[in-house]
Structure 1
Amino acid sequence: MRTPAAGHTLHVISHTHWDREWYLTFQQFRARLVDLIDNLLGILDRDPGFKVFHLDGQTIVLEDYLQIRPQNEARLREHVREGRILIGPWYLLNDEFLTSAESHVRNLLYGHAIAEAWGGVMKIGYLPDQFGNIGQMPQILHGFGIDNAIFGRGYSLAVPGRKMELIWRGPDGSEVLAHHLAFWYNNAQRFPADPDAAVQYAQGIIGRQAPVAATRHLLLMNGVDHLEAQPDLGPVLAGLQGKLGEGTEILHSTLPAFIEAVRAEAAPLDVHEGELREDRHCQILAGTLSARMYLKQENARVQALLERGAEPWSAAAWWHGGRDERDFLRFAWKRLLENHPHDSICGCSIDRVHEDMLPRFAEAGDVAELVAERSAQYLADRLDTRALPEGGAALTLFNPLGGPREEVAVVEAEFLAPGAPHTVKALTPEGEEAPSQVLDVRDTFVRRLDPHELPRGERVRRFRLALDAAAPGGGWNTYFLVPGGAGGVEGVTADADSLSNDRLSVVVLPGGALAVIDLENDVEYAPCNLFQNGGDVGDEYRYIPPVLDRLVTNAGAAATVSVEASGPVLGRLRIDTRLVIPEAGTPDRRARAERTTAIPITSWVTLTRGSRRVDIETRVTNGARDHRLRALFASGADTETAHAEGHFEVVTRSIQPPADWPGASTFAPQQTFVAVEDGERGLAILNQGLPEYEVLPDGERTVALTLLRCVGRLSVGAEGGAEDADYNDTPGAQCEGEHTFRYAILPYRGGWFAAGVAAEAHAFNAPLAAAQTGAHGGPLAAAGSFVRVEPEGLVLSAVKPAEDGQSVIVRVYNPTGEPIAGRVSVAGAGEAALVRLSEETLRGLELQGGSASVEVGPKRIVTLAFRR
Structure 2
Amino acid sequence: VFNPLPFERNEAPQVFIDFPREKLYRAFSIYDDQGQKVSHQVLSLEESYVIPIEPHELPTSYYTTKWKVAFEAKNLPALGFKTFTVKPEEGRKSNYGSQITATNTLENEFLKVKIEPNGTLTITDKNSGAVYPNLLWFEDCGESGDPWSRIPPVGDGNLIYNSLGNSAEIRQVCDGPLTTTFAIKIKMNLPAEVIRSTKKRSAVEKELPITTFITLHKGDPKLHLAIDLDNTIKDHRLRIMFDSGFRPEKSISSGQFDVLERAVFLPDTSDWLEPYTGTQPNNGGVWVENGKRGLAVLNFGLPEYEVFDNESGTVAMTLLRGFGYPKMSGIAREDLVERVGNEGSQCLGIQHYELDLFFYSGDWQTAGVLRHEREHKYPVMSVHHGRFAGKGLTKCESFLKIEPETLYLTALEKSESGQDYVARFYNPSEDTVEALLQLKFPVNQAVALDLNEEPALEIKIDDPCRIKITVSKKKIISVLLKHA
Structure 2 counterpart of 1:780, from 376, 388, 393: 393
Partner of 1:4: none
Name which of structure 1's ranges 444-453 and 791-800 shifts more when overlaid on structure 2: 444-453
Structure 2 counterpart of 1:645, from 244, 254, 270: 254
Structure 2 counterpart of 1:560, from 150, 155, 169: 169
What is the TM-score of this pair, normalised by structure 1?
A: 0.52
Distance 1:729 1:458 in 2: 46
> Does the C-alpha gap of structure 1 residues 551 and 660 become closer, same or farther in structure 2, counting only changes over 3 Å?
closer
> Does the C-alpha gap of structure 1 residues 487 and 422 become closer, same or farther in structure 2, counting only changes over 3 Å?
closer
Distance 2:33 2:293 in 1: 41
Distance 1:487 1:440 in 2: 12
> Does the C-alpha gap of structure 1 residues 450 and 776 become closer, same or farther in structure 2, counting only changes over 3 Å?
closer
- 2:133 is the counterpart of 1:522: no
Matched residue type, 1:698: N
Distance 2:448 2:326 in 1: 46
Matched residue type, 1:740: H
- 2:118 is the counterpart of 1:505: no
Distance 1:458 1:681 in 2: 54
Higher percent of residues as strand: 2
What do the CA deviations read for 1:383-430 (whole angstroms, capped 9, x no partner)? xxxxxxxxxxxxxx1111111101221222333332262233322233
Partner of 2:457: 843
Partner of 1:357: none
Matched residue type, 2:82: N
For the 8 Å contact 1:643–1:650, the answer to whether it is kept is: yes
> Does the C-alpha gap of structure 1 residues 781 and 507 become closer, same or farther in structure 2, counting only changes over 3 Å?
same
Identity of aligned residues (%): 28
For the 8 Å contact 2:96–2:176, the answer to whether it is kept is: no
- 2:303 is the counterpart of 1:691: yes
Partner of 1:324: none
Shift of 1:722: 7.0
Shift of 1:519: 1.1
What do the CA deviations read for 1:51-106 (whole angstroms, capped 9, x no partner)? xxxxxxxxxxxxxxxxxxxxxxxxxxxxxxxxxxxxxxxxxxxxxxxxxxxxxxxx
Shift of 1:554: 1.4
Structure 1 counterpart of 2:288, from 666, 676, 699: 676
For the 8 Å contact 1:494–1:572, the answer to whether it is kept is: no
Shift of 1:816: 0.4
> Does the C-alpha gap of structure 1 residues 713 and 786 become closer, same or farther in structure 2, counting only changes over 3 Å?
same
For the 8 Å contact 1:539–1:714, the answer to whether it is kept is: no
Shift of 1:629: 0.7
> Does the C-alpha gap of structure 1 residues 830 and 401 become closer, same or farther in structure 2, counting only changes over 3 Å?
same
Shift of 1:847: 4.2
Distance 1:437 1:714 in 2: 53
SS at match of 2:241: strand
SS at match of 1:773: coil
Shift of 1:656: 2.6
Structure 2 counterpart of 1:417, from 21, 25, 49: 21
Name which of structure 1's ranges 582-591 and 779-788 shifts more when overlaid on structure 2: 582-591
SS at match of 2:83: strand
Matches for 1:327-726 after TM superposition, within 5 Å: 397-419=1-23, 421-470=25-74, 471-484=76-89, 492-493=99-100, 495-547=102-154, 548=156, 549-660=158-269, 662=272, 663-713=275-325, 715-719=327-331, 723-726=335-338
What do the CA deviations read for 1:187-238 (whole angstroms, capped 9, x no partner)? xxxxxxxxxxxxxxxxxxxxxxxxxxxxxxxxxxxxxxxxxxxxxxxxxxxx
What do the CA deviations read for 1:692-738 (whole angstroms, capped 9, x no partner)? 10001121110000111111126344459972342476222112211
For the 8 Å contact 1:503–1:612, the answer to whether it is kept is: yes
SS at match of 2:375: helix
Distance 1:580 1:568 in 2: 38
Shift of 1:659: 2.9
> Does the C-alpha gap of structure 1 residues 705 and 463 become closer, same or farther in structure 2, counting only changes over 3 Å?
same
Distance 1:623 1:660 in 2: 34
Partner of 1:743: 355
Matches for 1:299-314 after TM superposition, within 5 Å: none
> Does the C-alpha gap of structure 1 residues 597 and 419 become closer, same or farther in structure 2, counting only changes over 3 Å?
same
For the 8 Å contact 1:532–1:629, the answer to whether it is kept is: yes
What do the CA deviations read for 1:642-674 (whole angstroms, capped 9, x no partner)? 111001111111123333464223101111100
What is the TM-score of this pair, normalised by structure 2?
A: 0.92
What do the CA deviations read for 1:448-473 (whole angstroms, capped 9, x no partner)? 22342332222233322112212011
Partner of 2:379: 767
Matched residue type, 1:688: F
> Does the C-alpha gap of structure 1 residues 795 and 487 become closer, same or farther in structure 2, counting only changes over 3 Å?
farther
Matched residue type, 2:474: K
Partner of 2:428: 815
SS at match of 1:772: coil
For the 8 Å contact 2:95–2:176, the answer to whether it is kept is: no
For the 8 Å contact 1:423–1:438, the answer to whether it is kept is: no
Higher percent of residues as helix: 1
Distance 2:327 2:199 in 1: 16
> Does the C-alpha gap of structure 1 residues 587 and 406 become closer, same or farther in structure 2, counting only changes over 3 Å?
same
Distance 1:646 1:800 in 2: 21
SS at match of 2:230: strand
Partner of 1:355: none
Matched residue type, 1:676: V
Distance 1:720 1:842 in 2: 48
Shift of 1:790: 1.0
SS at match of 2:206: strand
Partner of 1:244: none
SS at match of 2:15: strand
For the 8 Å contact 2:402–2:438, the answer to whether it is kept is: yes
Shift of 1:491: 6.9
Name which of structure 1's ranges 535-544 and 503-512 shifts more when overlaid on structure 2: 535-544
What do the CA deviations read for 1:298-330 (whole angstroms, capped 9, x no partner)? xxxxxxxxxxxxxxxxxxxxxxxxxxxxxxxxx
Matched residue type, 2:352: T
SS at match of 1:450: coil
Structure 2 runs not aligned, ≥5 long: none
Matches for 1:102-117 after TM superposition, within 5 Å: none
SS at match of 2:51: strand
SS at match of 2:382: strand
What do the CA deviations read for 1:550-569 (whole angstroms, capped 9, x no partner)? 21111131211111010000
Structure 1 counterpart of 2:368, from 756, 763, 774: 756
For the 8 Å contact 1:491–1:608, the answer to whether it is kept is: no
> Does the C-alpha gap of structure 1 residues 714 and 795 become closer, same or farther in structure 2, counting only changes over 3 Å?
farther
For the 8 Å contact 2:325–2:338, the answer to whether it is kept is: no
What do the CA deviations read for 1:122-147 (whole angstroms, capped 9, x no partner)? xxxxxxxxxxxxxxxxxxxxxxxxxx
Partner of 1:106: none
> Does the C-alpha gap of structure 1 residues 433 and 693 become closer, same or farther in structure 2, counting only changes over 3 Å?
same
Matches for 1:237-252 after TM superposition, within 5 Å: none
Distance 1:606 1:720 in 2: 47
Partner of 1:352: none
For the 8 Å contact 1:496–1:561, the answer to whether it is kept is: no
Matched residue type, 1:848: D
What do the CA deviations read for 1:356-389 (whole angstroms, capped 9, x no partner)? xxxxxxxxxxxxxxxxxxxxxxxxxxxxxxxxxx
For the 8 Å contact 2:206–2:232, the answer to whether it is kept is: yes
Matched residue type, 2:348: E
Partner of 1:230: none
Structure 1 runs not aligned, ≥5 long: 1-396
For the 8 Å contact 2:326–2:335, the answer to whether it is kept is: no
SS at match of 2:394: coil
For the 8 Å contact 2:326–2:338, the answer to whether it is kept is: no
Matched residue type, 2:233: A
Matched residue type, 1:481: V
SS at match of 1:837: coil
- Looking at CA atoms only, which structure, 1 or 2, has the larger radius of gyration? 1
For the 8 Å contact 2:146–2:327, the answer to whether it is kept is: yes
Shift of 1:753: 1.7
